[in-house]
Amino acid sequence: MAVCAAVESAQGYPILGRSGQDDLALDDGWPIFGRRGGQTGVATYPNCPLCDQSTETMRHLLTGCSFSRMVWFEVMSWIRSTSGPPTVEGDFAEWWSLVVRTVPRQLRKGTSSIIMLTAWWIWKHRNAVVFDNARPSVTTLFSDIVAEARQWADAGARGVRLLLP
């Protein structure tokens, strides 16, 4: 699970970087793009652009953000998982691994794919809010995740197909 390692290495580090003025902040070799509002015309946010409740870090975005937690709840309910969303203080990669271990063997690939897909779409939605002035919307994001999962299943992702209602 290389993606888990990538997400895990970035957790807990501010997305803006140390000075808040960096074009590109690096944490353990993983690039996380900063925002330089004055020079690029992109709005800057002191807090998470999805919930406006906490400093934006990868850990917050994936596990602590109230917006993201609602999305995780919807997705986990949609695939009929008995696992809840990641815990605020927990490690995302550990939660991901635990969820995958608790499902029947034939559903593990699909569950892992849906978790990866959801994390990716949360990041894409965050970017749309920051760079395209989109409004955060759990309904829109959940619809995008469902549509993409169906496309994956249609393209031959058997594990995902098994999870779709």
Instruction: Identify the CA nearest to 48 among candidates 136, 120, 132.
Output: 136
**pTM score:** 0.75
For 79-137, the pLDDT digits (tens) are 999 998 998 878 899 999 999 999 999 999 999 999 999 999 999 999 999 999 999 99
Residue 51 — very low, low, confident or very high, per pLDDT cuts 50/70/90?
very high
* Look-up of token digits 């900063």: 34
Question: Could you tell me which residue, 14 or 60, shows the higher pLDDT?
Answer: 60
Q: What is the pLDDT of residue 87?
A: 86
Residue 160 has pLDDT above 90, yes or no: yes
